[in-house]
Structure 1
Amino acid sequence: MLEGTATKNIMIVDDHPMIRDGLRARLESMSGVRVAAEAGNAAEALQHAVRQPIDLVLMDINLNGVSGIELTGKFQADFPGIAVLILSMHNKAEYVLQSIRAGARGYVLKDAPGSDIVRAIEAVLNGGIYYSAALMPIIAQPRIKEESLTARERQVLEQIARGASNKSIADTLDLSVRTVETHCLNIKRKLNIEGRTELIKFALENLMMGGG
């Protein structure tokens, strides 16, 4: 369920019209969102972003010319207020990791159930992140090199990489929310990171397997 009452504007970026039609039909059943624009390539997507307010982009990777990952980085740089959710057929760790580095807030496989896409959209529009369940095996054991982090801080970072909220982390680790918040502050201080988004990106990049 989306937080707040304002309708959120979504742009679908995919070079296959049939896929855009299918996504539009799925999104029309969601309350609180509307498909404000569609684009088949990077140039069209950027034009729409300039002309009208967009809250979320559903981004395919395989676009003609500029890839969806490159375009995600462009959105991150030029339109930081627009969240990007990757919707792709690729389940390789390299694509997921590159998308994270480019600034994507989630990654959903195209063959995932429609309900998965709905949950992903809700999570990202509510300020969280979302990854298809089928991608979870890609998330490996921690390989964080920063020795300054305590064992508990590493556990918190693992949960952050999985998209857990502070409340969820507190429940999982049997801690108070205030304690989790303190751990997050300490982690950001030790790693010289500002903001939840950068913390999420760091967690995912350092918990993700290479290759595969």
Structure 2
Amino acid sequence: MRVLLADDHRLMLDGIRRALDEDGGFEVVGETQNGAQVLPLVGQTNPDLVVLDVRMPNMDGLQCLEEIRRRYPDVKVVMLSASTTQDLIDGALRRGASAYVLKTVDPSDLPSTLRQVASGTVFSTVGASETSVPSGAKEAGLTDREISILTELAKGKSNDEIAKELWVTQQTVKFHLTNVYRKLGAKNRADAVRQAYQLGLIVRPLGDE
């Protein structure tokens, strides 16, 4: 997947590039820290997807988003921001963003997010722990990704099936499961699912008593 990165912080650009390079399924075709350079770069590099910071110098990220959607309707745009302001999130999605990703997101989850965006899945927010994770999960220290994996685990899926469902590698699934076991004090998969039900972290299927 051809990706263009636009963020006014060099460290953020480097972190995203590193995560995509390590995944191996992406080609970063351009980078910029200047909002005014985004549209010319889209025209020059023909990306499949643009990762775009909301706050950019010289041309605001939301303005860039509107122009990209108008001039290059086939290019998908993922907005990146540190802000959890609902009006800003709604504004970005209304202007045609395929996803709104918080800068607190685990970098290892970013490749899977971009793949799901490319496949047509539309997100509201990615990486929003305070609102998207049940209160019991916050008390246990679980992330939204760990809850997603627990939910699939409860359906009896294997690591391979979970990896395909969530667009991540099996190694990523194993990594998150290790963290889940540690945080819940679980001995194995069945124990983790049992505790997740007890804590109200996942919903027990109807008829499964």
TM-score by length of 2: 0.59
- Equivalenced residue count is 132
- Pairing 1:73-84 to 2, within 5 Å after superposition: 73-84=66-77
CA contact (8 A) 2:7 2:56 kept: yes
Tell me what 1:43 maps to: 36
Tell me which amino acid in the other structure corresponds to 2:128.
Answer: A
Q: Any gaps of 5 or more consecutive residues in structure 2? A: 133-209
Partner of 1:161: none
Q: Equivalent residues in 2 for 1:76-155 (5 A)?
A: 76-130=69-123, 131-134=125-128, 137=131
Distance in 2, Cα, partners of 1:29 & 1:127: 23
Of 42, 46, 53, which aligns to 1:53? 46
Structure 1 residue runs of 5 or longer lacking an equivalent are 1-7, 139-212
The answer (yes or no) to whether the contact 1:116–1:132 under 8 Å persists in 2 is: no
* Aligned-pair CA distance for 1:65: 2.5
Identity of aligned residues (%): 26
SS at match of 1:12: strand
Q: CA deviation at 1:91?
A: 0.7
Higher relative contact order (CA 8 A, sep 6+): 1
**C-alpha displacement of 1:44:** 1.3
User: In 2 relative to 1, CA 21–133 (structure 1 residues): closer, same or farther, beyond 3 Å?
Assistant: closer
Distance 2:17 2:80 in 1: 13
Cα shift readout 1:58-110 (whole Å, capped 9, x = no counterpart):
01011112211111111000111110001110111011001011110001110
1:163-174 aligned within 5 A:
none
Aligned to 2:18: 25
What's the counterpart of residue 187 of structure 2? none
Say which SS state the counterpart of residue 28 (structure 1) adopts. helix
CA distance in 2, matches of 1:128, 1:114: 19
Separation in 2 of the partners of 1:85 and 1:55? Answer: 11
SS of aligned partner of 2:128:
helix
> 2, 6, 12: which is aligned to 1:13?
6
* AA at the equivalent of 1:132: V
TM-score between both structures, scaled by the size of structure 1: 0.58
After superposition, give the CA deviation of every residue in 1:1-51 in whole Å (9 maximum; x if it has no partner). Answer: xxxxxxx11000011112111111111012321111001122211111111
CA–CA distance in structure 2, aligned partners of residues 135 and 72 of structure 1: 25
Q: Residues of 2 paired with 1:133 and 1:38: CA distance?
A: 23
Which segment drifts farther, 71-80 or 45-54? 45-54
Runs of 4+ more than 6 Å apart: none
SS in 1 for 2:31: strand
Distance in 2 between residues matched to 1:90 and 1:74, nearest whole Å: 22
2:64 partner amino acid: L
